[in-house]
Amino acid sequence: MSTAVADARAGRHRTPVGVDRALLVDTGFVIALAAVATFAAWPIYETPYLFITVGGALVVAAVVTLIGRVRRWNWLLTAVTLAIAYLVLGVPLAVPSAFVSRPDLVQGYHELVVATVTGWRKLITVGTPVGHFQTLLVPMLIVVLVCASAAFALVFTRARVRGYGALVPIMLVPTAFAIVFGTSANGSPLTLATITVAAPRHVLVGLLALVLAGGFLVWRAQHERRLALETAAQASGIRRASGITSGSLRRLAGAVAVVLVGLIVAVPVASTMLVPGPRHVLRTAVNPVPQLSRYVSPLTSYRQAFEPAQYDTPLLSYSGDAAAVGRLRIATMSFYNGQQMTVLSGDSDQQNAFAHIPELTGRQPKAAATLKVTINDYRSLGMPDVWLPTAANLSAIEFHGGDVNALTDGFYFNRELQGGAELYDLGSGDSYTMAVDPPAATEALSSLTPSAGAVQDTAYIPASLTQWVQAQKVGSGGQALTELIQRLRDRGYLSHALVAPPATTPKSKNWLSALGVPGTGTFQASFAGESTDRISDLFSALLRQQQLEGPAAPDKSLVAGVGDDEQFAVASALIAESLGFPARVVLGFVLNPSVTGPSAIPACSGGVCKGQNLTAWIEVKGAGGAWVPIATTPQDKLPLAKKTSTQTEPKFPTQVQPRDATVQPPPEANPTGGTHQNTTHTPDQPAGPAVWLPVFRVGGSILLVVLVLLAPFLSLAVVKWARRSERRRMTDAAARVAAGWDELVDTAVDLGLPPPGVRSRAEAAAVYAAAARAGNPAHMRTLASGADEAVFGAFDPTPGDAERYWAQLDEQRARLTASFPRWKRLRALISLRSFRTRRGGSA
C-alpha cells in the first residue's frame, strides 16, 4: 500500500496514453501564437517573405532542439548549434537582397551580423511597410527563433507537469515585439452593432492571443488532472467513473465564462480607450530624419553652373520617356529664412522629413513612364551632391552597378516635396532607373484659389514687393498671380554674373554668347543671392521704373530688374505667399520644352543635361491641394530701360553667407546606423549632451538584443522561483512538507546530481549529503524522515512544523548549492533537468 502511494507521489509510472496528444497540442500552440505574431507584424512588413522568415525560424528551432533532445545535448551545446544555424540560414531567411550577386551574398552575411545588433533601431527608423528592405526582417527572425527554441525545449523535454505554463509568456514575446515595433496608426474603425472599435486589428490580435493562451492553459490543466487520475487508478487499482462529470462541466463553463467576460470587457474598452489618438510605440519616439537641413541650400550654388568650366559640361545623361517625365527635380525648397531658400527648416519633423521608403526601392510593376539617369560630372555644380535628381510622381527607383545595395541603403525620399537624397558617395558612372506614374490633372493656374483659413508667414516678404504688387492693381487669386509673375518675368532681365564672362572661342561657350548678345557692351551686372535685401532691391528697381514711366507704359520701358532664376524664383514664391498661396522653389532640369514654353534657359537635349540647362521654377498650391508648376525665368530679349541702365547698384550689396561652413550631417544623420554617408565633406561636431546620444542609442540597441537573447533563460529562472513559492504556500501542512522535499530533490538534480530513481528518501538523502561537503548528513536524513512522516505518519504535521521544516530545508539547500562552483550554480539556475525527471522522482 505504502509503496503504491509512494510510486503515485513520485510519478513513477508507465507513460500513460495521451502524452503524445499533449505533445501535439503544445506544438500546435507554439505554431498558433507564432501565426498571431505574424498577423500582428504584417503592417510592419507587408511582404510574403515574412512567412518564409517566420516559418523558417520555427523549423530551425524545432529541428535543433529536437536533435539536442535525442542526442542529450546540454543547453549550452544546443544554444551554440542554434547560433550556428542562425548565421548559416539567416541570410536566405531574412536578407533576400543579398542574392543580387556573389559579392552581395558575402556582404549579406556581414550585414546579418551587424543587423543582429543594429537592426532593431533601423526597423523603427524606416517608414512602414518596410517589405524585405535590406536586413529589416532580421529582428523578426531573431525573436521568433529564440522564443520558439525556448518553447520547443520545454515541449520536447516533456516538462509539462508545471513547465507548460511557461509556454504562454515565452510565445507572447513575438506578438509583443510586433506591437512595440509596429505603427502608431489604429486603422479604420469597425462598427459592431452599437459599439465602434477604433483599432480592430489590435483588438483582434489581443483576442486571438487571449483565447489561445486561455484555451491552452485550461486544456493542459484538464489533461494533467486526467493523467493524475489515471496514474492513481493504475497505482491503487480503483477505477474512476468515465464520462463527463459535474466538475468537468463546471470547469468548462468557467472557462467559457472567462472568455465571454474578456470579450465583453475588452471590446468596449478598446472602442473607447483607443479613440482619442494614435498609440505611442517606439517608432513615434524616434526621429528617423537625416539632418539634411544642415546642408547648404543648393540654390546658393546655382550660378556656378554657368561658369565657363561647367556651362557646356555634361552633368548627367538620360534615356527613356523623357517627354512624359517632363522635368528632373534636384531639390525642392519650401522654407525661407530671409537669407536663403532651404529644403527643410531647422526644426523639421517627420511629416516634412526625408526617410527610407522601401516600397520605392523594391521591384515594382512598370509605370507609365521610365527614365534611366546616369551621373556624369554632377559634382562640378558645387552644390552638395546629396541631392539626387528624381521625378515627380515617382513610384519606383532601381539602382544599377556594383554598389546597388549601398546606393539603395543611402536613398531617402520625401513624398511631400517629391525630392530624393542619396547619402552614399554618389560618383560618376552611377545610374538608376525611375518609374513614374502619369501626373494627375492639375488645376489651371488662373483658376487657383487660396485655401480657406490659410495663414502664411509674411515675416520675410520685403515691403517693396508688397508695394509693387499693390501698384499692379490686379486683385487677388490665381488670375492675379498669373499676371503678376508674367509681369515680373517680362520686366526682368536675365544675367548670371557680376562680371562679364570671357570672350568665347571655337572650343568654348558662355551664357552671354548663347543669349545672342553681340558684345559685352550691353552686359548687365547681377549680384547673386536670394536674401531679403537682394529681393527688396529687385522690386525697388521695378517699382522705381514704373513710377518714372507710369503704370500704362509698355513692358519694354519697364524692364528694370536684373537677375536670374535664383532671384526670380524666390521673388515669385514670395509674391505667391503674399497672396495667400503656399509656394516652394524647385531646382532641376527641363526635359520637355513644352512644359515651360520658350525660355532663356534651354531644356536638356540629346539625352544630356549640361550646366547651361540648370533652371529653377516655383510650385504653388491652391485649395484643391495640388502643386502647380510655374516658370519664372526672366526674359532676355528686351534690354534694360535707358533710365534704369544709367543707375548703379549699391556698392556693398548683401552677400549670402552659408549658415554652416560644413555640409556633412553628423554621424546620427543616417537613421540606418550604417556607414554609408556622404564622405566628401567634414561633419559637424555635436556639442554638449548630444555627444552621448549615439552611445545611448547603440547601448540601448545592444541591451535590447541581450534581453531578447536572455529572455528564455530568465523565464526558466522565474518559473522555478514561482514553483518554489507555490510549494511553500501550500495550505495543507503535510503537502507543504512533501513539496519541500521535492524542492530539495529538484535543486540537487539541477546541480547535476542523480535523481532518486528507485531510492527511498533516506537513501537519496545519503547521496545528497555526500555531495554537500559543507553540510551535516544527519540534517539531510532528518529532512528525509520528516517528509516520510508527513506522508505516511499517523498524525498530520502542524503549520508550525511545516515552517520549521522549510527553514531547515533552506539551510540545507544553501549548503548543498555552496558545495558546487559558481558556474555550476549558474547553470543549475537555468537547467531543465528537474523538469525532465518529473520533479526528481522522489521515493
Domain ranges of the chain: 14-273, 292-442+670-692, 445-585+618-645, 729-841
Least confident of 48-57, 472-481, 686-695: 686-695
Grade residue 404 by pLDDT with cuts at 50, 70 and 90: confident
If you average pLDDT over residues 671-679, what whole number do you get?
38
d(CA 791, CA 810): 20
* Mean pLDDT, rounded, for 562-580: 92
Residue 4 has pLDDT above 70, yes or no: no
> ω before 276 within 30° of 0 (cis)?
no
Name the 3-class secondary structure at 273: helix
Per residue in 164-211, pLDDT (tens digit) is 778 888 888 998 888 888 766 555 555 555 555 566 777 788 778 878
Q: What percent of the chain shows pLDDT beyond 90?
A: 18
Report, as an integer, the average pLDDT of 295-323: 88
Weakest mean pLDDT among 480-489, 584-593, 816-825? 816-825
Concatenating the DSSP letter of every residue in 634-652 gives: PPSSSPPPHHHHTS---SS
Calculate the average pLDDT of the chain: 77
Gyration radius from the chain CA atoms:
38
pLDDT at 408 > cutoff 50: yes
Query: Strand 561-563 relative to strand 492-494: parallel, antiparallel, unpaired?
Result: parallel
Output the nine-digit C-alpha cell for 533.
535685401
Least Cα distance to 119 among 684, 652, 702, 667 occurs for: 702
Whole-Å CA distances, 686 to 692, 734, 748: 9, 68, 56
Quote the CA–CA distance of 772 and 70 in Å, as a whole number: 31
The 10s digit of each residue's pLDDT in 32-89 is 999 999 998 888 888 888 999 999 999 999 999 999 888 888 888 989 999 999 998 9
| CB distance 515 to 641 below 8 Å | no
Which grid coordinates belong to 149?
527554441
> What's the pLDDT at 196?
55
**Whether the predicted pLDDT of 692 surpasses 90:** no
What's the pLDDT at 16?
A: 41
Least confident of 143-152, 572-581, 585-594, 770-779: 770-779
Supply the pLDDT for residue 485.
93
Cell 551554440 sits on residue: 80
Q: What is the pLDDT of residue 841?
A: 40
Task: Identify which has the larger pLDDT, 293 or 593.
Answer: 593
- CA 489/CA 486 separation, integer angstroms: 5
Between 633 and 107, the more confident residue is 633
Q: Identify the CA nearest to 445 among candidates 634, 635, 632, 633.
A: 632
